[in-house]
Amino acid sequence: MTTTTIGITGMTCGHCVSAVQSELSELPGVEAVDVELVNGGTSTATISSSAPLDAASIDGAVAEAGYTVVPVAS
């Protein structure tokens, strides 16, 4: 099991959360997607997968939902 955490900007509500969860869940190997919404800031998504995920695939899925991946503050 691999866990990947990303930041996402532009999300404002539960509909946005659902859109992101839906797109990320379609990636091969993804088993769970947990999104913490921060309206007006950087939301975070924690993705559990059976193998490490390709960053470009994650970026593409989030873009498909209409949002942008940003680095998470460490």
Residues lying near a copy of itself in the complex (CB under 8 A) are found at 12-13, 15-16, 19, 39
- For a copy of itself, the closer of residues 44 and 67 by Cβ is 67
- Rounded to 5°, the CA angle 54-60-63 comes to 145
- For a copy of itself, the closer of residues 39 and 74 by Cβ is 39
- Locate 19 and state its tokens: 């859109």
CB 1 within 8 A of CB 52: no
- Residue 53 beta carbon to a copy of itself: minimum distance, rounded to whole angstroms: 25
- For a copy of itself, the closer of residues 15 and 74 by Cβ is 15
- Locate 20 and state its tokens: 């992101």
